Amino acid sequence: MSNTKISRFSSTRPEDIAWRVEQAHISGQIEGIERNPSLERFVQQMDDDGVSIEEQIARLVARAKRTVLIAGVVSETDEQEKQMRIA
Q: What is the pLDDT of residue 9?
A: 87
Position with higher pLDDT, 47 vs 83:
47
Number of domains present in the structure of the chain: 2
My answer on whether 30 and 45 are in the same domain is no
My answer on whether 28 and 41 are in the same domain is no
- Helix then strand count (H, E) for the chain reads 4, 0
Angle of CA points 70, 61, 69, to nearest 5°: 15
Considering the entire predicted model, what is its pTM? 0.57
Q: What is the pLDDT of residue 60?
A: 94
My answer on whether 56 and 67 are in the same domain is yes
How large is the average pLDDT for residues 4-17?
86
d(CA 66, CA 63): 5
Domain hosting residue 27, numbered range: 1-35
Summarised one tens digit per residue, pLDDT across range 11-54 is: 888 899 899 989 999 999 999 998 899 999 999 999 999 999 99
Half-sphere exposure of 62 (CA within 13 A, CB side): 7
The phi, psi pair for 58, rounded to 5°, reads -60, -45
Indicate the SS3 state at residue 4. coil
